[in-house]
Structures are given as structure tokens and as C-alpha cells.
Amino acid sequence: MALVAVEIVNKSKQTVRLSLEEDGEELEYLRKLVRREDLVSVEVLKSAPARKPAASK
């Protein structure tokens, strides 16, 4: 699955950005919380960049 950048806004107007699977259960659950009005918005911004491996020491 491809990762997408997701911006989530709660009722206190605090915003967080996460990388989630495009069609994953977590994204679907967050959208459900918006419908229940527990969150203000969940917006898919774009495809998240691929993660680079950590630099070795």
C-alpha cells in the first residue's frame, strides 16, 4: 500500500500530520470520527515521500 500524508484537525483546532496507508483501516476510522463529529477534519494532502533508511554509524 502507498502512504499518504494526512492532516487531522481536532475540536480544539490542533492540527497533526501523519503518514497513513492510502486505503488502510486507520484512515477509515479517522473519517468515521469526522462523521461522528469527534474530529473537525481529516484531509489527505498528497502521497507521502518514501522513507529513507537511517544513516549507519
Helices (H), the chain: 25-35
- The answer to whether residues 1 and 44 touch, using CB atoms and an 8 Å cutoff, is no
Condensed to tens digits (0 to 9), the pLDDT of residues 5-42 reads: 999 999 999 999 999 998 899 999 999 999 999 999 99
Look at the block and give the residue holding cell 473537525. 40
Burial (CB count within 10 angstroms: exposed 0-12, middle 13-18, buried 19+), residue 20? buried
**pTM greater than the 0.95 cutoff:** no
Cβ contacts of 47 within 8 Å, gap of 6 or more: 2, 3, 4, 5, 22
